[in-house]
Structure 1
Amino acid sequence: MAQTNQYTKILLSKKIGKEVYSYSGGYGMVYDARTKTRSIVDSLGNITFESNYNISHIFKKRFILTSEESNYRTKSAVIDEKGNQLLPIDDQSFNTPWLSEKRIISSKEGKEAVYDYNGKQIIPYCDRIIFAGEERFFVLKDKKWFLYDLDGQQITNREFNEDNHFEKGRALVINEDNQSEIIGKNGQTLHKFSAQIYSLASYPYLITKNRTTGKYGLVDAEENIIADEIFDDAAPEYFGEKQYVYLRKKGKVTVFNKKDKKLYPNNFKYLTPLFNDMFTVYSEKSKKTGVVNLQGEMIVPQDYDFIQNFSISGKEFVYLKKGREEQFLDKDLKNILEENMQIIAFYPDHLIIKKEESYYTFSVVDHSVSVLKDVISIKEQGADFFNIFNMYSKPVVCKKNNNLYGIIDEKGKEIIPFIYDDIIAFENSENEFVVKKQDKYGVVNFQNEPLKDIVYDKFYWQKEVLKLDKDKKTDILYFTRFKNIGSRL
C-alpha cells in the first residue's frame, strides 16, 4: 500500500465511523467521545483493543496504557496491539523523552529501572537512570553515576560526578580532579584538559571558557591554544560542512577555518556560510545582504534582498535577487542566466525558469532548456521559504491553457491533475493545499490524496491548523510537515 499515514487515518475514520486521530506503524488511535473510550485500530479497520484508560502508541505493536488515579497517582503498563500487558500496570510512569524500540525507563516510587519491550528487566530499580545515547545509560547509585550498556552490563567501575551524553562516541565530563575530560563509550579517557572545556561540538577543536572571566577561547584536542580566552561568545557551525567556529568580541566575529587551521578576524557580527569560504552578511541598517570571503573582503555588494546557495547537478551556485533582478552565480561567480530569464523553482537536478512568457526546465550543466507544454503560469515560491530545512522548491502549482490548475513535480510530471479552478499552496513547508471548484473548497496533499471533500464555503489558515467552514460549522485539519514522498505504510 503506497498511501500516506495521513490519508490512511482519514480512510479508517470513514470505515469505522469514529475519528482516528493518529496513525503510524500500521496502527491508529481512536477516541469515542460518546463512551469516553479509547481504542487501537489496525490498518484493515479492526478494533484490536478498547479501554477506558489512555492509550499512546510508541512504535509498531507497542503501546502505553495509562490510568490517572486519585491523588495524582499514575498507573501505567506497556501493552501490545491486543492489550496484552507486557509490563503489568502498576504505580509507575514511563518518563523517558526518547522513543526507543529497544528499551524503556520505568519510574516507580522515586526509583527508575530499564526494561525491554517484552517486559524483561534490564537494569534493576535504582536512584536515577539517564539514556546517554549510542546504546549507553548513566545510572545513579549512592550519589555516583555509573556507565551501563543496553544489556544492563556495567561497563566500567569508574565513578562519575554527573550524567553526560555521548556524541559520536565521545562525552565531556568533569573528572574527580575537577578537570574537563573527554571519555569514550567504555568510559576510557581520551583527553584531559587543564582549561575548562565548554563544548566539544566542533571536535577535534574545543571551545573553552575561562572560569574567572567567563570569556571563550579555542584549543585542539592536545590543548594547543588556537584562540586565547578573550571572546564574548563562541559557537561552532551547526549545519552544512561544519568547517568553521565563530568567536565574537565587541560585535565582530573571528572565524576559525578547520581546513587550514587559521583564524580570520572580520568586521561583521554574523556570517552565514555559502561555499568556497564565502559568507553572506546582512546589514541591519539597510536590510540588505552581500557576500564576503574569509578575509572579510566584500565580493558581492551588500545591496541584495535575498542571497541563497543551491547545489544543482552536483555543482554549487549562489542565487542573488534584488527587486526583479536575478543572478545565478557559479563557483567562479559567473552569472549563468541569460537576460530576461527568471528562476521559478530550484531542484536537485535542474531549474524551472520563465523566459518570454514561456516556462522551461533548465540544465545548469549544458544550459539546455525544455519547454513545459501548455503551461501558461506558475505560482512562484516566496524567497523566504528557503532555509537549511527547505533546500529546494516544492512541486509547483501551474495553470494550463485550459485555465485550470494542477501541480507538476521537479521532473515536469503531472502529480495533481489540471482540473481545479484554483490551488492555494502554503508557504511554510506544508504537505496540504486547498483546491477550489465552482466556488467550493477542499483539501488535497502532494500525493494526490483527497483529505477534505470540495464542499466548504471558506477556509482559514492559522499556524499549524487549517479551518474550513460549511453551513456555519467548522472542520479542522492539522498540517503535517512537507515531504516529497510522504510517510508511507
Structure 2
Amino acid sequence: MGIFKDIWDFFFGDSDEKNDKRNRTVYRPPRAPKSYGYCCGYEKICKDGKFGLNDKNGNSVLPCDFSEIKEFDNKFILIKKDNKFGLIDIDGNEIVPCHFDKIKKFDNKFTLLEKNNKFRLIDKNGDNITRHIYDELEEFNDYIKVKKDGKFGFIDKNGNEIISCIYDKIKKFNEDFILTRKDNKYGLLDKDGNEIISCIYASFPYSDIQKINNEFLLVERKNKYGLLDKDGNEIISCIYASFSYSDIQKFNNEFLLVERENKYGLIDRKYPRVIDCVYDEIRNFKDSLILVKQNNKFGFIDKNGNEVYQCIFDEFNGISVKKDSKFYMLITTDCKFYVVDRKDDKLGFSDNNGIEIIPCIYDKLSTRIVYVKKNDKFGVVSEFGDEILPCRYNEINNLTKIFGNIKIEKSNEEDDENKFKSSKYDKIGDWIDDIYVLYNSDKVLHIGIDGTIIDITVS
C-alpha cells in the first residue's frame, strides 16, 4: 500500500490531509437579515422567511416571527402569524392579538375584525365599539347596519343600539326612509331609525314617500297621491292625481291648508275636493263659511269653494268685517250680515238695507260669555269682565235656556281666574264662544244663530 499511496499523494496530494479537512467543522459567520424597506419609520427586515422590525439604530423592535408586516394606518401596524392577523401600535405594543382571519378598515374611522365569520369593531385607539359580536356589519346612512342571529338592526357610530336586531330585512327606500320586513310584513323607518309605519303590509303599498315639513308625508300609490301624518297615520287616502304643494298645514277636521307659489288653498281630508291656491290668506270662520283674503280685501266662501261674499271688505277683526266705515257681523246660519250701528255711543243692529233690527240702546257687544257661581247662585259674565246677569239664579237651567248648555266647574284658564279673582266667584265655567250678547246695566239681549232674539230685563 505504501508505494501506491506515495504515487497517489505525488499526483493528487496528501490523502490523509484531505480526509482531515473533510472531517473538520468549518465556521461560517451568520447571514445578516435582509432589508425590505421601511414600515411606520422602522426598517422592515426578513430572516429565514420571517419578518420583523428594527429601529434606526438597528435595535430590534419586533422579532422576525411574522409572515407579514405592513403599515395599517398612522397608528397601527398589521401583523400576520400562523395565518392569523393582529395589530400592534408604532411602539410595538400589541393592540389586537393574532387571532383574526381578517382585519380591515371600516368607515375610515373604525377597524373591522373578523373571526370565524363573526365581526366586531374597534376604534382608532383600539377600544371595542361593538358590545356584541355580529354576523354582518355594513355602513348604512349615518348608522351601522348589523345582523345577529339572522335578524337585522342598527347601531350608531359609538356602538349604541338604535334598533334591536328584530327585522328579517332592512333596505334603503329613499334618502329619508328605510323599508323593513318582519314576519313577511313590511313597514317603514325614518333615516334616524324611528318607526313611521309598523310592519303590517303583506306588500308595501307606496311606491314613493316624501317629507313635507315635519308634519306630513306625501305618499304615492298607483299614480295617485295621499297624505300620512308624521306618525304614519293616513290623513288623506291616495285619491289625488297630482299633489304639488310647497307646504301643508292643519286647518280643521275637514280640510288641510296648502300653499303653492305663496298662494293658499284647501284640500279635503276625505274626498277629492280642492279649493285652488288663489288666496293670500284663508281662515276658519264659523259654521259653513271660510274667510278668505285676496288683493288685500276680505270675503267669504263656502266649503265647496263657492263665493258667498266677494272680497270687498277692508278689515277683519275676528268677529266682524269692515267696509266704508261700517262693521258687518255674520250672526245667523242663513249667512246674512247684521250691520253694527252706533249712535251716541250706544250699539244696535240693522240689516243690509239700513232697516233697524235692534235699536241702539246697548253699551257693549260680547261674543264670549262664561257662567259663574257665587253663594250657590248662578250668573253670567262677559269677556270684558262685566256681570251681564248677577248671581241670583237658583238653577243653571234658567240660564241655559237663554245662552245654551255649559257645565259649571273650575276653569283651567289662568287668565279667567285672574280676571275674576276680585269678584270672588266660587266657580267659573268654560267659555262659550261665537255667541252674540248686547247688554247695558238693565237690559240683556241674546241673538241666536237661528235669528232668535231673547230680550232679558235685569232687575
Task: Give the TM-score of the pair, scaled to structure 1.
Answer: 0.30
Which TM-score applies when normalising by structure 2?
0.31
> Which of 1 and 2 has greater Rg?
2
